[in-house]
Amino acid sequence: MGTTWQRRRTVSVTDIDYPGTTFRAQAANFRIPAGGRQIRYVIIHITGGPAMDEGPALNTFRNGPASAHYIVNREGRVTQFVRDAHIANHVDNIASATNRESIGIEHVNPWNAERREHPTDVQYEASARLVAWLCRQYDIPVVHATMRHSPGIRGHIEEQPHSGHSACPNPAWDWDRYITLVQRARSETFDEMISTLARS
């Protein structure tokens, strides 16, 4: 698996969007929208499976059909799989309105019959910095917006309530804590944000 990873220093800065990106890997399934797209909301996911690292998600995304823009691991490292301007396949199917209008972020977090974990402190913080950046870039309001297709941040199950994804991510996810962290990161100036990233 080691050969599939690329350290940030070996990746052209033109190939990533978020300056806090640690790794770059390419998802198999993505679309380049004709005429660009408007990014209106962020969808939060958890992996749910038993793995405590991003290995299985990496394999899944490299083989398709599922994909997401980013994954945040339990050490707070961020991997980008799909460019922000491109459409990933993280809710329903790749042609869905949700995928067309959103950024999808996975988090390594077991939640199943055998093992139920919550995100780590550094994972929450890293995800909040990433989402604050996205909200700044794309003018997305920092709110937990639970209504489908509305501007803001919400979980997979809120965007697709009749799907089988009832554990993505809400039982594991502390929304009040998370939104507070995103708001705090979003309140930083651009320069403060960059220097925070440089220290992390």
Interacting residue ranges for Zn ion, rule: CB under 5 A:
45, 156, 165, 168
Give the shortest CB-156-to-Zn ion separation in angstroms: 3
Nearer to Zn ion, 47 or 80 (CB): 47
Give the shortest CB-67-to-Zn ion separation in angstroms: 12
Nearer to Zn ion, 119 or 186 (CB): 119
Nearest to 193 by CA among 16, 13, 19, 12: 19
Give the shortest CB-71-to-Zn ion separation in angstroms: 12
Nearer to Zn ion, 82 or 168 (CB): 168
**Strand pairing category for 23-24 and 78-80:** parallel
Torsion of CA 180, 178, 104, 133, to 10 degrees: 40
Nearer to Zn ion, 154 or 165 (CB): 165
Find the angle CA(149)-CA(186)-CA(31) to the nearest 5 degrees: 45
Give the shortest CB-168-to-Zn ion separation in angstroms: 3
* Amino acid in the structure at residue 99: N
* Amino acid in the structure at residue 183: Q
